[in-house]
Every structure is written in C-alpha cells, then in structure tokens.
Amino acid sequence: MSHVHIHAPHELSEPPEAKPEDEKPGRFSERWLEFSAVVLLSLATLATAWSGYQAALWSGEQSQKYAQASTLRVHSNQQSVLAGQTHLGDLVLVNGWFNAIESGNRKLAADYRRRYRPAFQPVFNDWLALHPLTNHRAPPGPTYMPQYRLAASAAAVALDARADKLYAEGTEAKTDDDRHILSTVFFAAVLFLAAVSLRLEWRPLRIAVLAFGTVMFLGSLVFVLTLPTAA
C-alpha cells in the first residue's frame, strides 16, 4: 500500500515573521514623544543656562552700582565738610570785622576785609550796601544773603543726587537679578517634567506631563523675554 504524503504550503507551515520593532503599532508615536522630551530637555537646559548667566551679570551690575554710589557718598561728605569749614571761616572773619568796627579800629577792620575769599568779597559788598549797622531790615550777616553760595556745598548736593541715581539703578539691577533667578526655578521644573515623561509607561499620562512641561516652558520663555538683558 502506497503512502500518501501531504505537504502543507510553505506559507502555512512557517510561523509569521516578526515585524521590526519600529513597525509595531504605536511605536512611531512613542518615538515622537521621546524626541519631544529630548528637545524640551535641551531647550530648557539652554534657557536655564542663559537665565543663570543673566542673573550673574545683573548681580555684578548691582555690586558695581552700589560701589559707585558709596564712593560718591564719600566724596559728597568731603565736599560737605569743606563747605562747612569755608562757611565757618567766613563767619570768623566777619565777626572779627564786626568787633574791629565796634572798637573803632578801622585798620584792623580793613585787614579782616582783605582776608575775605575772592568769591565772598562781592557778597559782603552787597550786604554792606544795605547799611546793616543802621538798617534793621538788612540780613543779620553776609552769609544770609541770597548771593551767598558755596561751590563745595553745590558739589555735595550734585554728588548726592548722582549717588541716589546709582543706588536706584543698583536696586533695579537686584530686581532683575531676582527675576532671572526665578525663571531658572521654572526651567528646572520643566527639566524635571521632561525627564519624568521619559520614564512613564502609560501613554496618556506621559502625554499630559510632556504637554504641561511644554506649556510651562513657553510661559517661562515669554517671561524671560520680557526681562531686560545685561550688557
């Protein structure tokens, strides 16, 4: 009795070939999620570095402005002391002139007048023209005349104003420094969310975390772009 051999078709006998990993359903979207997370990580890292760099620059600007303001304060105090000494010297000479006039010593009075500062001579002459010895409406002394101005006193006021301006600029630089530091906190949160998204297996949660990180990154980026940049 002859044997009948039945051969199954090759397609039926061989197991189906496994599809490449990249051809599995949903694998393409997984790759895109991973790529998006890596891009977000890279951008957040660059933004963090930029904000930290700007914060360092503004911190240096603050220190420089405060140092300049402090230097100007010292010079202003020096000018104030000089103005006080000059004013005291004028008063001493005027008092000596008064005493010489009261004692009738015209020669001594003339000697005091020769010792006046060149800038003080016109003021004293204007005051003397008001006949202060007999006119009770005259100012009590030449230093009370509106013409009496001390260059050192004006310089002290100007230096003080410049110091105030520099101090205000230093305070503003401190504010910009703080804002850039705050932005690094936001970008650090973005880095955390992007890194976590790479570890999640559940796709809906992964997409939600990545989307939230993207929104936070864009908001932080807009915030940073509104901040002034240090030169």
Per-domain residue ranges of the chain? 33-225
Q: What is the pLDDT of residues 30-75, one digit of tens each?
A: 788 888 889 999 999 999 999 999 999 999 999 999 999 999 999 9
- Among 208, 225, 223, 217, residue whose Cα is nearest residue 39: 217
pLDDT band at 28 (very low <50, low <70, confident <90, very high): low
What are the two backbone dihedrals, phi and then psi, of residue 54, each rounded to the nearest 5 degrees?
-65, -40
What pTM did the predictor assign?
Answer: 0.70
d(CA 5, CA 24) in angstroms, rounded, equals: 38
Least confidently predicted of 8-12, 92-96, 147-151: 8-12
For the purposes of burial, counting CB atoms within 10 Å of the CB of 111, is it exposed (0-12), middle (13-18) or buried (19 or more)? Answer: middle
Distance CA 214, CA 21 (A): 28
156-168 confidence digits (pLDDT tens): 999 999 999 999 9
DSSP string, 94-132: HHHHHHHHHTT-HHHHHHHHHTS-TTTHHHHHHHHTT-T
Contact 193, 213 (CB under 8 A): yes
d(CA 138, CA 129): 10
Backbone dihedral region for residue 26 (phi beyond 0: left; psi -120 to 50: alpha; all else: beta) = left
